[in-house]
Structure formats: structure tokens, C-alpha cells
């Protein structure tokens, strides 16, 4: 099997790239030329995983089928997990697909390519913390988030009928994921309290633990401060300058003592898959593929983008692992491939433009900074405007893969569904 362009990973970056290319090449050529591979049947925009985890976003409604997207955007889709890569031979291997009983449905497949873009994202970095992998939940994909949500519902019920009526949640890492998850879990807690009789009311206590001196350490201080006030107002306990030393089944050992925990979420850093080391391409200590400012790896015709790549930025820094970067890189590579296949010269390099960062703090609240061309200068926003701007990022992603009309319909459908079924998914 051969495709001119194979994109592995249909996430924030890979799916946008496949959609842009498929539409540019058109109905006849697109599916012949462009293949998207993903190990999942459906796509969820990763920055919404904290909402899936809290139950405020339903993945069955929000998930978009890759098969339908490929038909509408004129690219081919293949379900499978990349397990071997031969950059010299320009070949890759997808593992055999098995059903839940272990019976093989599709055998192992080998695909040859002209150009390949690796866009497999990243997972969690436990920094060698004992017990973290065994006892903490992570939010790496929709399955993890749903798994956590099921556990949360069970714990809500347990707390409601327990003697102490107390539920302790510990979240490790106060970057965007940890802060957003804390705020969203508080929303879920208030929804569930509102939906049950007062006899079932219980107290949920969230502790957010951070090793750095402030939350959202990568963002401007004013944004951190505002997020901190908002979390305090929601009764989230924030422990900064606190190192997590070990995770146990029901407690978190920290440099300030033990924290009791009915459930623990690890949201403290990213790392790409270990198997990236075996793909014959140079990787850094986070297993990210090293690329140049054209997103090329050391192998001819092999590119990497998004969280699984380490792309130089400025002053020895690398482009941050953000949906914003993946979105820009998809746009850049689409232009590059379109020029290549049109036989036109293309000598531009990729330059990351930081438009700022927005963090959701639950219902109708957000905080962030806007930078560069979007705002003219760096400035701070908060409240409802920040929340709406945050939501518009998700809409922009949907616009690339669905077009304006379907994006607007989807947004309306979500509003109506929430009116009918409530905000929290309880089943």
C-alpha cells in the first residue's frame, strides 16, 4: 500500500493538516494522495479533556468520526497504531487490530510513503515519581478522561451515602490542565449537589499541588494571580512550592506532609511515547522528534509536528507543546505540501507566533493574555470575554475540520442539548 502523504495522528495538528490537504487536492486526488492514520475511531480536541473528565462535556456527542471527516474532507483514513518506522525505506507498520476478546480483526499492515508527518502527540511525564503510574489518573486521551469520569461518579455516590460525607481530590500540577480541571470539577460538584436532595449532600475538597512558586508558572504573573484568586473563591486549596515525593493508593506524600486522597490526577508535565526512540530518528529526552525550522526530521521526507516534535523557537527555547502551535504547524505544512505538489518553490521556514494563552476557570470565567498581531501588544483579559475567547479556539479548530456551517450547527446543538439534558453527564 502506498500513499504520497501519510499523516500519523489525527489530533489538534494532524487532523487539521489532513483536512486542509484533502480539501485543497479535492475529491478525486485527495483520497488517493493523503492518508491519515489514528489509533482511535473518533476525534476529540484534546484541550477539552478536562471537561470530559468532569462530565461537563459528553464525548459521545462531541466526538467526530474520522471516517466521516475523511469522506467530507477528501482524505483517506486508516485505523491503526504506529508500531514500527523505517525512515530510510520510507515505510511504516501499523499493529494488527484485535477485538476485546483478543481476536484479530485486521492483520499488521505496512504502508510505504513519499512524505510522512508524525503527529502523535504526547502523554504524561511522571518524572520518576514512585507510585504515580500505578495510582494516579491521567488525561492523555478521551478513554482516560471517561475512565476518570466513571470513577468520579462512583466516588460522588460513595461520598453522598458515607458517614463522613467527604471526598478528597488531589490534582498534581498547576499548569493549564490542573487549573482547568480543578475549576471544572468544582462546577461538576455544584451541579450534582443541585441535582440531589440535601440528605445526600457531601463536601468535596480539591487540593492542587504545584512544585513551582506559582500556578500557571509558564504564563505572566498577572494571569497566575487572577487564576489563584478564582481558585480560592471556588474553595480549591492551592499548595505551591510543594514537591510530590510519592503517590500511594489513598494519599499523596509531599514535601509539606501527606495529603489524604480518594482520587488523584497527575497533570504535571508531558512526555512523548518511549517507542519514538526506536523509530530511527533523533529524539530529545522527552522522546520528541528533533526537527528543524521547516519541521523536517533528520530523514528526507519525514516531518514531525505538535507535541511529539521539538522545534527550535528563540534563545535556545523550543516551540511549546500547545494546540496553538499544532494549529499553526498544520497550516504551515499544508502550504508547504501544496506548493510541493504544484511544482512551486517554497522556501519559507516555520515561525511560531505566540498569540497568548487562555485558561478556562469554569462556567463563564476565564483568564489569559493576548499577544502579538491578535492584540497589537500583550494585554490581560479575564471573566466572560476570556471565557468566550477560550471557547472560540475550539470553534476555530472545528472550523478547519468541519467548515463554518457545521461548526455553527454543532455549537447550537450543544447549547440545546445542555438545556434539555443538563450540563453534567451522569450516565
Ligand X SMILES: Cc1cc2nc3c(=O)[nH]c(=O)nc-3n(C[C@H](O)[C@H](O)[C@H](O)COP(=O)(O)OP(=O)(O)OC[C@H]3O[C@@H](n4cnc5c(N)ncnc54)[C@H](O)[C@@H]3O)c2cc1C
Q: In Å, what is the CA distance from 214 to each residue of 45, 119, 231, 241? A: 27, 31, 13, 8
Q: Give the containing element (helix H, strand E) for 113.
A: strand 109-118
Which value, to the nearest 10 degrees, does the dihedral of the CA atoms of residues 14, 9, 299, 23 take? -40
Q: Does 39 bind ligand X (CB under 6 A)?
A: yes
Cα separation, 425 vs 406, in Å, equals 23
Q: Which is nearer to ligand X, 159 or 299 (CB)?
A: 299
Q: Does 293 bind ligand X (CB under 6 A)?
A: no
Q: Which is nearer to ligand X, 14 or 30 (CB)?
A: 14
Q: Which residue among 57, 159, 323, 400 contacts ligand X (CB under 6 A)?
A: 323
Q: Which is nearer to ligand X, 177 or 251 (CB)?
A: 177
Cβ atoms of residues 390 and 378 within 8 Å:
no
Cβ atoms of residues 332 and 119 within 8 Å:
no
Kindly state the DSSP code that residue 141 receives in the 8-state scheme.
S
Q: Does 5 bind ligand X (CB under 6 A)?
A: no
Of residues 132 through 161, those in contact with ligand X by CB under 6 A are 139, 141
Q: Does 8 bind ligand X (CB under 6 A)?
A: yes
Q: Which is nearer to ligand X, 181 or 228 (CB)?
A: 181
Q: Which is nearer to ligand X, 68 or 409 (CB)?
A: 68
Burial of residue 163, with CB atoms counted within 10 A of its CB: 0-12 exposed, 13-18 middle, 19 or more buried: exposed
Q: Strands (DSSP E) along 177-254, which ranges?
A: 203-209, 237-239, 244-247, 251-254
Closest separation between CB of residue 57 and ligand X, Å? 11
Q: Does 171 bind ligand X (CB under 6 A)?
A: no
Kindly state the DSSP code that residue 299 receives in the 8-state scheme.
S
Q: Which residue among 92, 111, 117, 120 contacts ligand X (CB under 6 A)?
A: 120
Burial of residue 420, with CB atoms counted within 10 A of its CB: 0-12 exposed, 13-18 middle, 19 or more buried: exposed
Helix axes 323-341, 383-402, angle to 10 degrees: 30
Closest separation between CB of residue 12 and ligand X, Å? 3
Q: Which candidate, 252, 236, 143, 135, places its Cα nearest to that of 184?
A: 236
Applying CB under 6 A, which part among 113-121, 125-133, 209-217, 288-296 lies near ligand X?
A: 113-121
Applying CB under 6 A, which part among 8-16, 128-136, 146-154, 189-197 lies near ligand X?
A: 8-16
Q: Does 173 bind ligand X (CB under 6 A)?
A: no
Closest separation between CB of residue 95 and ligand X, Å? 8
Q: Which is nearer to ligand X, 121 or 362 (CB)?
A: 121
Q: Which is nearer to ligand X, 31 or 47 (CB)?
A: 47
Q: Does 401 bind ligand X (CB under 6 A)?
A: no
Of residues 45 through 104, those in contact with ligand X by CB under 6 A are 46-47, 49-50, 81-82
Following DSSP, what letter does each residue of 149-171 receive, concatenated? Answer: HHHHHHHHHHHHTSSS-EEEEEE
Cα separation, 72 vs 398, in Å, equals 13
Q: Which is nearer to ligand X, 73 or 202 (CB)?
A: 73
Q: Which residue among 10, 31, 55, 131 contacts ligand X (CB under 6 A)?
A: 10
Kindly state the DSSP code that residue 47 receives in the 8-state scheme.
G
Residue closest to ligand X (Cβ): 11
Q: Cell numbers for 207, please give them.
A: 487540593
Of residues 14 through 33, those in contact with ligand X by CB under 6 A are 14
Q: Does 9 bind ligand X (CB under 6 A)?
A: yes
Q: Does 12 bind ligand X (CB under 6 A)?
A: yes
Which value, to the nearest 10 degrees, does the dihedral of the CA atoms of residues 228, 234, 238, 244 take? -130
Q: Does 306 bind ligand X (CB under 6 A)?
A: yes
Q: Does 326 bind ligand X (CB under 6 A)?
A: yes
Number of residues that bind ligand X (CB under 6 A): 33
Closest separation between CB of residue 270 and ligand X, Å? 8
R_g of the chain, CA atoms, integer Å: 22
Applying CB under 6 A, which part among 174-182, 335-343, 394-402, 417-425 lies near ligand X?
A: 174-182
Q: Does 183 bind ligand X (CB under 6 A)?
A: no
Q: How many CB atoms lie within 10 A of CB 266?
A: 26
Name the residue with cell 486521551: 141
Q: Does 38 bind ligand X (CB under 6 A)?
A: yes
Query: Binding residues for ligand X, per CB under 6 A?
Result: 8-14, 37-40, 46-47, 49-50, 81-82, 119-121, 139, 141, 176-177, 180, 306-308, 321-324, 326
Amino acid at each position: 500500500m502506498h500513499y504520497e502523504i501519510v499523516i500519523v495522528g489525527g489530533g489538534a495538528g494532524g487532523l487539521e493538516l489532513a483536512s486542509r490537504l484533502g480539501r485543497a487536492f479535492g475529491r478525486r486526488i485527495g483520497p488517493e494522495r493523503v492518508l491519515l492514520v489514528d489509533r482511535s475511531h473518533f476525534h476529540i480536541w484534546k484541550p477539552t479533556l478536562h471537561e470530559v473528565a468532569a462530565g461537563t462535556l459528553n464525548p459521545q456527542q462531541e466526538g467526530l468520526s474520522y471516517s466521516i471527516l475523511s469522506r467530507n474532507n477528501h482524505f483517506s483514513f486508516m485505523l491503526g497504531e504506529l508500531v514500527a518506522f523505517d525512515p530510510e525505506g520510507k515505510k511504516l507498520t501499523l499493529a494488527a487490530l484485535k477485538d476485546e476478546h483478543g481476536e484479530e480483526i485486521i492483520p499488521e499492515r505496512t504502508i510505504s510513503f513519499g512524505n510522512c508527518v508524525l503527529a502523535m502527540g504526547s502523554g504524561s511525564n511522571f518524572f520518576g515519581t514512585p507510585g504515580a503510574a500505578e495510582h494516579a489518573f491521567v488525561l492523555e486521551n478521551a478513554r482516560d478522561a471517561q475512565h476518570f469520569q466513571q470513577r468520579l461518579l462512583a466516588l460522588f455516590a460513595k461520598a453522598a451515602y458515607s458517614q463522613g460525607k467527604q471526598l478528597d481530590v488531589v490534582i498534581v500540577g498547576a499548569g493549564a490542565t490542573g487549573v482547568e480541571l480543578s475549576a471544572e470539577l468544582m462546577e461538576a460538584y455544584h451541579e450534582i449537589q443541585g441535582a440531589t436532595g440535601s440528605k445526600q449532600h457531601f463536601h468535596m475538597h480539591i487540593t492542587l499541588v504545584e512544585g513551582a512558586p506559582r500556578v500557571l508558572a509558564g504564563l505572566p504573573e498577572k494571569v497566575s494571580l487572577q487564576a489563584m484568586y478564582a481558585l480560592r473563591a471556588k474553595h480549591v486549596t492551592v499548595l505551591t512550592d510543594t514537591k510530590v515525593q510519592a503517590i500511594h493508593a489513598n494519599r499523596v506524600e509531599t514535601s509539606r506532609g501527606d495529603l489524604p486522597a480518594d482520587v488523584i490526577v497527575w497533570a504535571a508535565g508531558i512526555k512523548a511515547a518511549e517507542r519514538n526512540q526506536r523509530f530511527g530518528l533523533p529524539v530529545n529526552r522527552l522522546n520528541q522528534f528533533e526537527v528543524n525550522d521547516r519541521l523536517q526530521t533528520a530523514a528526507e521526507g519525514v516531518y514531525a509536528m505538535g507535541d511529539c516534535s521539538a522545534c527550535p523557537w528563540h534563545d535556545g527555547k523550543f516551540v511549546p507543546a500547545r494546540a496553538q502551535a499544532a494549529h499553526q504547524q498544520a497550516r504551515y505544512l499544508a502550504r508547504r505540501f501544496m506548493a510541493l505538489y504544484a511544482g512551486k518553490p517554497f522556501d519559507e521556514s516555520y515561525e511560531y507566533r505566540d498569540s497568548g494563552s487562555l485558561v478556562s476557570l469554569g462556567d463563564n470565567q476565564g483568564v489569559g493574555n493576548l499577544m502579538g498581531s491578535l492584540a497589537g501588544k500583550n494585554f490581560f483579559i479575564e471573566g466572560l470575554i476570556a471565557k468566550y475567547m477560550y471557547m472560540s479556539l475550539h470553534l476555530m479548530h472545528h472550523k478547519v475540520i468541519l467548515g463554518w456551517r457545521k461548526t455553527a450547527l454543532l455549537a447550537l446543538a450543544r447549547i440545546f442539548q445542555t438545556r434539555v439534558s443538563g450540563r453534567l453527564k451522569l450516565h
